[in-house]
Amino acid sequence: MDPNLVYVKTPIGDEAVRQSTRVVQRNLRMVLVQVDGKVSIAEMTAKIGNVQLVEDALRKLEEGGFIAPSIEGVSVWEEGKRLAIASPVSGLSEFSTFGPKSVRPFDAAGASSVAGNFSSFGKPIFPSSRNVVSEIESVKPASETTLNIVDGNRFVLIVKWFGAAFVGLVGLFLVIVFLYPYAKLIPVFEASASRYLQTPVRIAHIGLTFAPWPQLQLRDIKIGEAADSQIEAIRIASPLWLLKSGARQIPTVDVTGAVFTANRIVSFPFFNVPSTPTTQGIYIREIKFTQSQVTARDLALRDISGAIRFKPDGAVENASFQAVDRSIQFSATPSAQGLLLSIEGLGWKPAGSLISFDSLQATGLLQKDKLFIQNLDTTFLGGVMKGAWLFDWSNGLILAGDVALNRLDCRKVSAAFAPALKLEGDLAGALRFRARGSDWNTLWQSVEATLEADVTRGIFYGVDLGEAARRGVGTVARSGATKFDRLQSTLTINPRQISGRNVQLSAGMMTATGQFVASHERQVNSDLTVGIRTSASNLRVPVRVSGVLPDLVAVSGK
């Protein structure tokens, strides 16, 4: 190419300078801007500093009709005006270095075919009108383009490698989860649990559960030499903690369907004071219980849930439990004497019992084979009962207590303990009792008790003592009722009968004193002296009351 040659812009080239989208390739546009009809090729090369770049760009711009040698400038300018007006030519995206320049006239339809030459590969010099912004970086030095291609291929390979690795890890995880022989872990867990609880532990099955998240599950666990306690299932959260070396922390252990004997609970090492270090490198932060129960012989506290939280040294931080309906709640604290209990109840009805405690507050002490209930304060049978109880199951069942009664409803008391007795009033007094049996039924059948009873504002149904006394000697009074202001007696209760001594009844102008005996077959025999005071005299009549509750007969006599 002649270095002295001078180029001028055609109307198309001039328009391309004003509209940056016409010529978007960086090298071509840089050279097109330098073309002004005055600067020679040599001068332009000196400015840009790259002979090959300038000559290639000028050649492509000339083939595209954007520039023309200055000797042809006038004719090309006139022709180019018509081409720029008639043809919406897009900017160059790629030019061929082969083939002559060609400028065609308009066809019959007025459509321009300017720059219609094609490279030897069949690619048009002028692409159709479209947005070519994406091609800005397409024309780069060959070394830079090659480097970008290599980098892109390398990135794709890295992505594919990581994808394959991830799929492989997921597959390996699934194989481990579903095909791992968890049964091999049973001896390891049995040994660890036995050290932790300091008693033999047997596990029937180990596996994984995914509800509500992946957890290690142990099922059918037996605790103790005689398997006196058992657990339906244990779920361990974050089982990967067990794979760590050194000290291992288990955040949560969920226990479902546990049945513990009271003695087993007391023997747990973490409830001892001082606590026995049993972690052996395993630290449990919390044990949660659901659908569990505590038993003492044939007695059971069922549907218990709660949690035990531990300190870092393995000692108990706090332990609290409650029935599923929250009718009874209690917390446990280890002590040197045993397990201290704080008990609260609301509408609690002991299993197998017909009576309920409307409200209950008490403290207790759980020891091996014994439970002491102290500071008992409960709303019971419409009144209040306070005192202390002892429950012992070391040799059969033993129940003993010393309580004070206040304002108990006699209708509720008789309905619970003597349904055939029809008595109304408010009962107060001191009750001492003791019972012993091989099971709960025989325990209640062997109750021996003493009650200093004091009933106020009551009615005794079955006999009218006042009517029997007024009728005189030898008369008989059947059924009826005796209304009184106060009735006092010392009751002795044993498996054979209930006897009342020092009976004192007052009902306005009438009084009665004496004693009675009632068997468990409801047979009643009573000898009373009934006194009626009038303004003129004081009448005293002996009255014998007998019969089967609730039907009694009163016979007056000497």
User: In percent, how much of the chain has pLDDT > 90?
Assistant: 36
* 346 CB-contact burial (10 Å; exposed 0-12 / middle 13-18 / buried 19+): middle
Is the pLDDT at 129 greater than 50, yes or no? no
Among 261, 237, 250, 257, CA closest to 314: 250
Q: What confidence category does residue 33 fall into, taking pLDDT thresholds of 50, 70 and 90?
A: confident
Count of Cβ atoms closer than 10 Å to residue 199 Cβ:
17
Is the pLDDT at 131 greater than 50, yes or no? no
Which pLDDT score, from 0 to 100, does residue 238 have? 62
* 195 CB-contact burial (10 Å; exposed 0-12 / middle 13-18 / buried 19+): middle
Placement of tokens 């606590």 in the chain: 275
Which pLDDT score, from 0 to 100, does residue 489 have? 95
Q: What confidence category does residue 239 fall into, taking pLDDT thresholds of 50, 70 and 90?
A: low
d(CA 363, CA 419): 32
d(CA 193, CA 284): 12
Give per-residue pLDDT as tens, 511-529.
Answer: 999 999 999 888 999 999 9
Maximal CA-CA distance, the chain: 166
Cα angle: 78, vertex 81, 82; to 5 degrees: 100
Is the pLDDT at 466 greater than 90, yes or no? no
- Written as one string, the DSSP assignment of 151-199 is HHHHHHHHHHHHHHHHHHHHHHHHHHHHHS-GGGGHHHHHHHHHHHHTS
Domain extents for the chain? Answer: 7-139, 180-318, 325-421+428-441, 462-556
Is the pLDDT at 190 greater than 60, yes or no? yes
Is the pLDDT at 119 greater than 60, yes or no? no
Torsion of CA 532, 535, 536, 538, to 10 degrees: 20
CB 452 within 8 A of CB 529: no
Tokens of residue 457, six digits: 């504002």
Q: What confidence category does residue 78 fall into, taking pLDDT thresholds of 50, 70 and 90?
A: low
Q: What confidence category does residue 215 fall into, taking pLDDT thresholds of 50, 70 and 90?
A: confident
Task: Name the more confident of 149 and 128.
Answer: 149
Task: Name the more confident of 466 and 276.
Answer: 466
Q: What confidence category does residue 275 fall into, taking pLDDT thresholds of 50, 70 and 90?
A: low
Which pLDDT score, from 0 to 100, does residue 418 have? 86
Cα–Cα distances in angstroms (integers) from residue 92 to residues 18, 56, 214, 534, in the given order:
15, 14, 61, 138
